[in-house]
Homo-oligomer: A and B are copies of this chain.
């Protein structure tokens, strides 16, 4: 049975519940498009996805199939069970109006993934200050091992590529089609997602 795909229009975001055991498939339908992903414990939104815990336990910044995304309480939130790309970012916070003013002073500013996530997550009781570093699906941020310098390059994802994450607890998920030019190869495209129950 093929489950329904939901479309996140370009430069927008959404939020939804993902029950324990369900699988979330995030799809890049056109290629080179980032999707910022946040996760909160559905029963206690003070428990939130943590880049610092996850990178510490994984001992790598390149997370892919088999890796677990941990909460700030060191508990598994999501497990990556499939990944056709293998290049995602877990270093940077969602783009925001401040990001636009900093990096794109000549473009009309946009509220970015941060603004989109804040609006989408508000009905779940999540305030803007509770938005941490996101797991940025398909985002390509290489780090130079010698200098430490990082770059934001176009994603390596092709049309139809996807990553599948299984919920290890009942979650509230925030998910975007990213709004920042450099992160998405200079153009803005939708993101698709699908939920398969446990």
Contacts and interface: CB of A to CB of B under 8 A. Distances in A.
Interface string A25-54: 000000000000000000000111011110
Given A72-B129, A132-B52, A150 B93 contact: no
A146 interface: yes
A96 interface: yes
Interface string A48-63: 1011110111011110
A5 interface: no
- Interface of A, secondary structure class, is loop
Interface stretch (A137-145, A159-167, A186-194): A137-145
Given A72-B131, A143-B143, A60 B148 contact: yes
Given A56-B99, A57-B102, A129-B72, A93 B147 contact: no
A149 B59 contact: yes
Contacts of A145: 142-146
A102 B55 CA distance: 13
A47 B91 contact: no
A71 to B, nearest CB: 9
A122 to B, nearest CB: 15
Contact of A46 (B91, B93, B129, B134): B129
A93 B60 contact: no
Most B C-beta atoms less than 10 A away, residue of A52, A55, A98, A144: A52
A52 B150 contact: no
Nearest to A97: B74
Closest 8 pairs between A and B when the two form their complex, measured CB to CB: A62-B148, A52-B93, A74-B98, A145-B145, A52-B133, A46-B129, A61-B148, A60-B148
Interface of A: 46-48, 50-53, 55-57, 59-62, 72-74, 91-93, 96, 98-99, 102, 127, 129, 131-134, 142-151
